[in-house]
A and B are shown apart, each in its own frame.
Chain A
Amino acid sequence: MQTLLDALREAGYRCVGPQLRDNAIVYDELGDTSQLPQGVRDRQAPGSYRIEIDAGPRHFSWATGPQALKPFLFAPQEILWRAEREPDNTIRFVDTPVSSTPLAVIGVRACDLAALRLQDRHFLEGPFADPHYGARRENLFLVAVHCSHPADTCFCASTGDGPRAEQGFDLALNELDDGYLLQEGSERGAAIAAKLALSPASDAQRDAAEREIEQAAQQQTRALPSRTLRDALFANLSHPRWDDVAERCLSCGNCTSVCPTCFCHSELDDASLDGSQSEHVREWDSCFTAGHSHIHGITLRDDTPKRYRQWLTHKLGSWHDQYGRSGCVGCGRCISWCPVGIDITEEVAAICGENGS
């Protein structure tokens, strides 16, 4: 692992990876393998995320933390451009440079790769490609780790997005007690792998790695129905469950900020005191805020039932119209990080019912 970090740094990448911070696994600057969360397990449940130490040798025996890739590409806050006013009142519009230091992320999970694919489609493949996201995306090197320790809140097996990382990585690792299996996913990945002193994996190691991924899938207790839920959700827009969930939901928007596919943002202007320049800023927003749907002196979604319904019908329903698939990759974050423990899989079951009507 250290040789991989060294090779990436030598190739010009800034490395980030999982680290234990404030009792959660977060991605941060990674210089040395000793910073990785060794022997650290997470225990997740609706509304709860706890870290446990099991003294094992492994570095990746945990599931998704609160954030992974999204903030690195779609920044929580950034300046899109700046306006400068000259003394004669003319206005100059100036691009703000995007830091383009190549970034390597270590330990990316299958669900987050699937979410990245969706964010790529949103930010890069529409009629207007976003240059800020694009610059960072181009310089991103991804080292995936196939998931062997899903949390109780994970359900990526049912959405088809994990636990095995299938696409979108440069390198992928299986972590075993006695080392890593390395898999190349791109030419860039192969170039880095060529610099490492690798020995061929044994059949036993391969089998063990396969078994771990299979077990990870079988351990998952939650699931979303495999069929497309769009029609079922839109047929149930007046289901009493929306009011029921809204009694518990705080409209805090945590679920949207931890979700790796949510893309909503707001734009605002921040003028300097002397009036000579003004920054046009983009920052994360959420369909749970009142301002999100405000027009004409009315708020289209003026209460929590409508906001939760907007979130769920979009994420699992109308996302199919926009991106050809559901917007949920089964990472379970919205379940763990919801302060009142609302569980998307449970709400869907209640609203769409067993018979899917």
Chain B
Amino acid sequence: MTNPHRPLEAEVVERIQESPTIFTLRLRFTDPEQHAAYSFAPGQFNMLYLYGVGEVPISIVSDPEDVHLFDHTIRAVGRVTKGLAQLEAGDRLGIRGPYGRGWPLELAEDRDVMIVTGGLGCAPVVSVINYVMRRREQFRRLVIMQGVKHSDDLIWRSQYTHWSGLPETQVLVAADEGAALWPWHVGHVTDLFDRVEMDFSTAVAMMCGPEGMMRAAIEQLHARGMGEDNLFLSMERSMKCAMGLCGHCQRGGQFVCKDGPVFSYTQVKPLFGVRGF
């Protein structure tokens, strides 16, 4: 039996500082054969191991068809992520993955796609936005809704501006607190559903963020006629093993690491919003 717990060595090829606390690592496995054998789907994640410190789950944000490198966008919050933030090009770390189930991209083909995110560096859906952008003709309208606490928290600001200018694309950004020159809405992102131009009855929605925000968004979408089967959410739970073994990510009968992190709303609905699960 090979040891599925053991990471593989990867190398930082490039490091990009996105904001004071958010950075992107562009990585490659040091063994070319391992690199060639590696593939993933948007919405899946890797476990990143910082030497001597530990492992954390982090979504893969790059395009699955980019065979040269894979990217992780990370917010430095604690022991491991602050250590990862210190890495520079040429430094080594451990990677195991990819894990979990990604977004239902086939289901979304030929339909309107809505992306709703809340909070910082909502990396799991950035991969979808990029995926759709690069295959624009396979999808219909794209609506991107992003909410942040403070306007300073928005990363990829120029990207949002760029996307909002593209055809068949609508961008709605909101910050609970705005600063001077904030071009977007001040308030909750869930205030903006009246402005959405999209066929709610057939569109596919993908969301990620605090569960309270997702609950509010789902209510809005329901009210506008979106079916539950077309709603997908990326859930976050404590994770140690990512393989359905350690029990940390259990949510009722689900292991978020292997049954998710992306779930259809019907799968999460029974315990959605119940404190303690």
- Decide if B245 touches A126 in the complex (CB within 8 Å): yes
Bound Cα distance from A93 to B244, whole angstroms? 22
- Decide if B245 touches A128 in the complex (CB within 8 Å): yes
Q: Interface size on B (CB < 8 Å)?
A: 45
- Decide if A301 touches B276 in the complex (CB within 8 Å): yes
Chain B residues near A265 (CB-CB < 8 A): 240-241, 245-247
**What 1/0 mask marks residues of chain B from 58 to 87 whose CB sits below 8 Å from any chain A CB?**
000000000000000000010000000000
The chain A residue sitting closest to B4, CB to CB, is: A128
At the interface, yes or no: B91 with Cβ under 8 Å from chain A? yes
At the interface, yes or no: B274 with Cβ under 8 Å from chain A? yes
13 contacts between A and B (CB under 8 A): A83-B94, A85-B52, A90-B92, A91-B51, A91-B93, A128-B243, A135-B1, A265-B247, A271-B51, A271-B52, A278-B51, A306-B276, A322-B253
Given A127-B243, A265-B240, A306-B275, A275-B248 contact (CB < 8 Å): no
Given A90-B30, A127-B243, A295-B236, A81-B91 contact (CB < 8 Å): no
At the interface, yes or no: A269 with Cβ under 8 Å from chain B? yes
* Shortest Cβ distance from residue A171 to the other chain B in the assembled complex, whole angstroms: 27
At the interface, yes or no: B112 with Cβ under 8 Å from chain A? no
Bound Cα distance from A267 to B7, whole angstroms? 14
At the interface, yes or no: A129 with Cβ under 8 Å from chain B? yes
- Decide if B252 touches A92 in the complex (CB within 8 Å): no
At the interface, yes or no: B168 with Cβ under 8 Å from chain A? no
At the interface, yes or no: A325 with Cβ under 8 Å from chain B? no
- Please list the residues of chain B having a beta carbon within 8 angstroms of any beta carbon in chain A: 1-9, 30, 49, 51-55, 77, 91-94, 210, 236-238, 240-241, 243-248, 250, 252-255, 258, 270-271, 274-277
* Shortest Cβ distance from residue B156 to the other chain A in the assembled complex, whole angstroms: 21
Chain A residues near B93 (CB-CB < 8 A): 91
Given A92-B9, A269-B52, 20 additional A-B pairs, CB 8 A? A80-B6, A81-B3, A85-B52, A93-B7, A95-B3, A128-B244, A130-B5, A131-B5, A234-B271, A269-B55, A278-B52, A285-B246, A294-B238, A300-B275, A306-B276, A309-B276, A317-B253, A318-B253, A321-B252, A321-B253
Chain B residues near A135 (CB-CB < 8 A): 1
- Decide if A90 touches B247 in the complex (CB within 8 Å): no
Give the contact-size bracket for chain A.
35 or more
At the interface, yes or no: A348 with Cβ under 8 Å from chain B? no
Chain A residues near B247 (CB-CB < 8 A): 263-265, 285, 287
* Shortest Cβ distance from residue B212 to the other chain A in the assembled complex, whole angstroms: 11
- Decide if B236 touches A91 in the complex (CB within 8 Å): no
* Shortest Cβ distance from residue A127 to the other chain B in the assembled complex, whole angstroms: 6
Chain B interface mostly: loop
- Decide if A310 touches B276 in the complex (CB within 8 Å): yes
- Please list the residues of chain A having a beta carbon within 8 angstroms of any beta carbon in chain B: 80-81, 83, 85, 89-95, 122-123, 126-131, 134-135, 234, 237, 263-269, 271, 275, 278, 280, 282, 285, 287, 291-297, 300-301, 306, 309-310, 313-314, 317-322
Bound Cα distance from A322 to B270, whole angstroms? 16
Chain A residues near B77 (CB-CB < 8 A): 297
Chain A residues near B252 (CB-CB < 8 A): 234, 313, 317-318, 321
Bound Cα distance from A83 to B3, whole angstroms? 14
Chain A residues near B7 (CB-CB < 8 A): 81, 83, 93
Bound Cα distance from A317 to B274, whole angstroms? 16
A93's partner among B52, B94, B255 (CB-CB below 8 A) is B94
- Decide if B277 touches A129 in the complex (CB within 8 Å): no
* Shortest Cβ distance from residue B102 to the other chain A in the assembled complex, whole angstroms: 15
- Decide if B246 touches A264 in the complex (CB within 8 Å): yes
- Decide if B9 touches A295 in the complex (CB within 8 Å): no
Chain B residues near A123 (CB-CB < 8 A): 245
Bound Cα distance from A295 to B94, whole angstroms? 22
- Decide if B245 touches A263 in the complex (CB within 8 Å): yes
- Decide if A295 touches B244 in the complex (CB within 8 Å): no
Given A81-B3, A263-B245, A267-B55, A296-B236 contact (CB < 8 Å): yes
A81's partner among B6, B92, B243 (CB-CB below 8 A) is B6
- Decide if B1 touches A131 in the complex (CB within 8 Å): yes
B6's partner among A93, A294, A296, A301 (CB-CB below 8 A) is A93
- Decide if B250 touches A127 in the complex (CB within 8 Å): no
